[in-house]
């Protein structure tokens, strides 16, 4: 029985390599492996789209999708995944950095029914590798380590292009990231589904920026954000608390700054505390749903609004009480305010974690 592999090729300004890329992919077809090749042109500014259309005319297995505006690799892959019809779906960059012959090895655990997802690692292979960009390597290793810490996977190359999925798996995942944030997002969502993940070594022929490499430092920072964004809400409580140290610390600085500003401009202690706390509470809420928790308060649901207001009001009252009480014994407003902030910090976290933003944490041993 033949296996049908859909190979999705995101393409943006790859006129120099697209023909060769498709040729290499087509060459892996044999008596047991049929191919469906979907080229997604992400509004290229060169002749990539016309080349892709010519390839579709020449070869029945090639299909072309087009974006009217440039959206990024993640958006291109999402479009391609939606139209995939094969048993399994693979990602193939158009830039010739990866050897499609590796796909024939990577697909074996899927064909054998042992895996749901297979990733190709550039760092656990004895195959040939082009060597350069030390800091890219270190950045990749750091992001992989951080991703593993949150997902409880033991990958060596989270950022790899070569990922093959069972079609039903990838089509069940709602992809949000439009650019290179796709990589940490998809790894996070695969991990949360507790799928069977395999990793195998591959060869790699990286290219320079002069040769068309597109990933930048901006994408590295985005990957860092995505690791937090798509994992933090299901992380163990201690890790969530560590993340909240950043969120609460930022809100605390805002709280203290505005308190001193209002107090210095003649407002009473009570008004200064409540006004500063209100501004900090907004910052805290936005950072919580941006970084730590996926749940948002449903403003149309009366019960959720009441819970949110109750937690905020209690913490504000606690902040006010501690600040005013401390001022009776110390003369420095900043010290008094820090006492109020510190006292409410842990309650603020617990109130948000269990009452305002309830999240079901994943069980790392769940099968």
Give pLDDT tens digits for 144-202.
999 999 999 999 999 999 999 999 999 999 999 999 899 999 999 999 999 999 999 99
- Is residue 307 within 8 Å of 355, Cβ to Cβ? yes
CATH numeric code, 3-231 = 3.90.550.10
Instruction: Judge whether residue 38 has pLDDT over 90.
Output: yes
Span of 114-118, 136-140, 212-216, 241-245 with lowest mean pLDDT:
212-216
**Looking at residues 96-104, what average pLDDT do you find?**
95
pLDDT at site 365? 35
Closest CA to 341 of 318, 313, 361: 318
**Looking at residues 201-205, what average pLDDT do you find?**
90
Question: pTM of whole model > 0.85?
Answer: no
Give the Cα separation of 67 and 151 in Å (integer): 32
DSSP one-letter string for 226-261: HHHHHHGGGS-HHHHHHHHHHHHHHHHHHHHHHHHH
Instruction: Judge whether residue 69 has pLDDT over 60.
Output: yes
**Looking at residues 77-89, what average pLDDT do you find?**
98
Any idea where the domains of the chain sit in the sequence?
3-231, 237-356
Q: Which long-range contacts (CB under 8 A, 24 or more apart) does 143-146 make?
A: 143/184, 143/220, 143/223, 143/224, 143/227, 146/224, 146/227
pLDDT at site 363? 45
**Looking at residues 23-46, what average pLDDT do you find?**
97
**Looking at residues 97-114, what average pLDDT do you find?**
96
């Amino acid at each position: 029985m033949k296996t049908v592999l859909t190979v999705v090729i995101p393409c943006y300004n790859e006129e120099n390599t697209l023909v060769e890329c498709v040729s290499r992919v087509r060459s892996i077809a044999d008596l047991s492996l049929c191919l469906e090749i979907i080229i997604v042109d992400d509004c290229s500014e060169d002749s990539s789209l016309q080349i892709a259309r010519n390839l579709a005319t020449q070869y029945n297995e090639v299909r072309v999708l087009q974006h009217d505006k440039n959206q990024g690799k993640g958006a291109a892959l999402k479009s391609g995944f939606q139209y995939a019809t094969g048993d399994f779906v693979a990602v193939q960059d158009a830039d010739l950095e990866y050897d499609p012959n590796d796909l024939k090895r990577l697909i074996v655990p899927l064909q054998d029914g042992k895996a749901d997802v297979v990733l190709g690692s550039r760092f656990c292979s004895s195959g040939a590798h082009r060597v350069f960009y030390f800091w890219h390597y270190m950045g990749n290793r750091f992001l992989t380590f951080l991703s593993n810490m949150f997902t409880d996977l033991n990958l060596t190359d989270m950022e790899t292009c070569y990922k093959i999925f069972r079609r039903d798996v990838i089509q069940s995942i709602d992809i949000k990231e439009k650019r290179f944030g796709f990589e940490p997002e998809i790894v996070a969502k695969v991990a949360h589904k507790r799928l069977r993940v395999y990793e195998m070594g591959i060869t790699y022929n990286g290219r320079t920026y002069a040769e068309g490499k597109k990933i930048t430092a901006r994408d590295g920072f985005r990957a860092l954000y995505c690791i937090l964004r798509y994992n933090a809400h299901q992380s163990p409580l201690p890790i969530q608390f560590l993340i909240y140290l950043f969120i609460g610390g930022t809100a605390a600085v805002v709280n203290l700054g505005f308190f001193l500003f209002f107090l210095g401009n003649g407002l009473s202690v009570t008004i200064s505390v409540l006004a500063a706390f209100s501004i900090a509470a907004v910052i805290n809420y936005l950072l919580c749903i941006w970084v730590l928790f996926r749940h948002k308060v449903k403003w149309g649901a009366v019960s959720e609004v009441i819970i949110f207001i109750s937690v905020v009001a209690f913490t504000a009252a606690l902040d006010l009480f501690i600040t005013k009480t401390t001022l009776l014994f110390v003369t420095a407003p900043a010290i008094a305010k820090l006492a109020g902030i510190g006292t409410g910090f842990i309650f603020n976290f617990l109130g948000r974690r269990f009452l305002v933003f309830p999240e079901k944490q994943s069980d790392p041993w769940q099968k």
